[in-house]
Homo-oligomer: A and B are copies of this chain.
Amino acid sequence: MIVSTQVVEIPEFRMDCGVTLTQVSIAYEMYGTMNADASNVILVEHAFTGDAHAAGISDEDGRPGWWDLMIGPGKAFDTDRFCVICSNVLSGCKGTTGPASINPETGRPYGMSFPVTTISDMVRLQRALLDVLGVKKLLCVAGGSMGGMQVLEWAVSYPEDVHSAIPIATTARHSAQQIAFNEVARQSIMVDPAWNQGDYYGSEAPKRGLAVARMVGHITYMSDESMREKFGRRLRGQGMVDANEEYIFEVESYLRYRGSQFVGRFDANSYIYITRALDTFDLFESQKLVRLDPSSTRFLVISFTSDWLYPSYQSQEVVNLLRAANHDIAYVELTSNYGHDAFLVDVAQQTDVIRGFLNSVSRNLGISNYALREGVH
């Protein structure tokens, strides 16, 4: 399945901070076929450094989508039955407007003059995209990590527009530890002299700081166990001639490599803006979750045993709150050694529970214009 990213332009977009952006681009991809009444649409939300390319093979670089294991014919999000849409978030750098975009008022990149962005802004821009695409109500909105936060935000911002929601490996608010890791990443970028207060477009980017930020991220995405299994204490180099370059553990060279690769595909200012959006997100403080009408949306909440970045207790906080208010909510804690990465790579059990949930949602809605093909694949 060769796919290409599309871009829609939204003429005006008012942000939570009060600023109105003009000529806002939003990049998206679509998989499967939308039915006549657009009742089979699933919106998939990407995580922090993800993009609109969630599935299939990119016509640009030949890479598979970040959730290609989960989206496609016969997969968890079955494109023979559902129309799956994924868009790049506001303040990102993969086709949607963000700090690296040209400010139409100045003709220069926004940089740090880009307005402070919230998860709610990201979701409202997606609502605008779906208006353009003619989608009123989503069969489901699903995603992991920051994608899960957007799922929760959809449920509270547009309860009438969301039949069902699948927040995975996520939280309704960051803990002090999660904020702390993000702050280390931000500081790492901002102390790189090349960052230059965010004004580096056209010159050298703060690649060294961004690479270190990404290295921290990778540690938190894996578990102690999965790092031991993958790297252990194996050496890449030999001997101990030099304090730094000769005695290299595989885990070090892996992190350095991942860090160095990342800087070619991600914008440092987007890293700052998106981590800010993550840290300031708080559905408990805003009381939005507790006020939600229990009749609006069905929930399936998923967490993973070895995920210490978004530990299960954070999912359970959401589950307990909504259950106490009589919401229709299922919760599954899946066993995995992959840590936070589990939602991306450990898909067998995830597929089972999501397929079952989507079948149930579809049946209850009496959606009949496409066949339920359970068990075919």
- Judge if A177 is at the interface, Cβ distance under 8 Å: yes
Asked if A255 contacts B180 (CB within 8 A), the reply is yes
- Among A17, A174, A209, A244, residue most surrounded by chain B Cβ atoms (within 10 Å): A244
- Judge if A215 is at the interface, Cβ distance under 8 Å: yes
Asked if A183 contacts B252 (CB within 8 A), the reply is yes
Measured in the bound complex, the distance between the Cα atoms of B188 and A208 in whole Å is 8
A227 proximity list for chain B (CB < 8 A): 175-177, 180
CB 8 Å contact bits of A255-272 with B (1 = contact, 0 = none): 110010000000000001
- Judge if A232 is at the interface, Cβ distance under 8 Å: yes
Question: Which of B174, B209, B216, B219 meets A177, CB within 8 Å?
Answer: B219
Question: Which of B114, B181, B231, B240 meets A243, CB within 8 Å?
Answer: B114
Question: Which of B116, B230, B240, B252 meets A247, CB within 8 Å?
Answer: B116
- The count of residues in chain A whose C-beta lies closer than 8 Å to any C-beta of chain B is 59
CB 8 Å contact bits of A103-141 with B (1 = contact, 0 = none): 000000000101011000000000000000000000000
CB neighbors of B among A226-257 (8 A):
227-228, 230-233, 240-244, 247, 249, 251-252, 255-256
Asked if A232 contacts B176 (CB within 8 A), the reply is yes
CB neighbors of B among A153-206 (8 A):
173-177, 179-181, 183-184, 186-188, 190-193
CB 8 Å contact bits of A273-289 with B (1 = contact, 0 = none): 10010011010010000
Asked if A230 contacts B176 (CB within 8 A), the reply is yes
Asked if A233 contacts B282 (CB within 8 A), the reply is yes
Per assembly, the copies of the chain total: 2
Q: A-side binding surface: helix, strand, loop or mixed?
A: helix
Asked if B242 contacts A116 (CB within 8 A), the reply is yes
Q: In the complex, what residue of chain B is closest to A256 when comparing beta carbons?
A: B187
- Judge if A224 is at the interface, Cβ distance under 8 Å: yes
Asked if A209 contacts B191 (CB within 8 A), the reply is yes
Given contacts A244-B276, A249-B279, contact A255 B183 (CB under 8 A): yes
Asked if A180 contacts B219 (CB within 8 A), the reply is yes
Ordered by A's residue number, 15 sampled pairs between the chains whose C-beta atoms are within 8 Å are A17-B240, A116-B240, A175-B224, A175-B233, A177-B224, A179-B233, A179-B249, A180-B219, A180-B251, A180-B252, A183-B215, A183-B251, A183-B252, A233-B282, A247-B280
- Nearest 5 A/B pairs, CB to CB: A191-B208, A176-B227, A176-B231, A183-B252, A176-B251
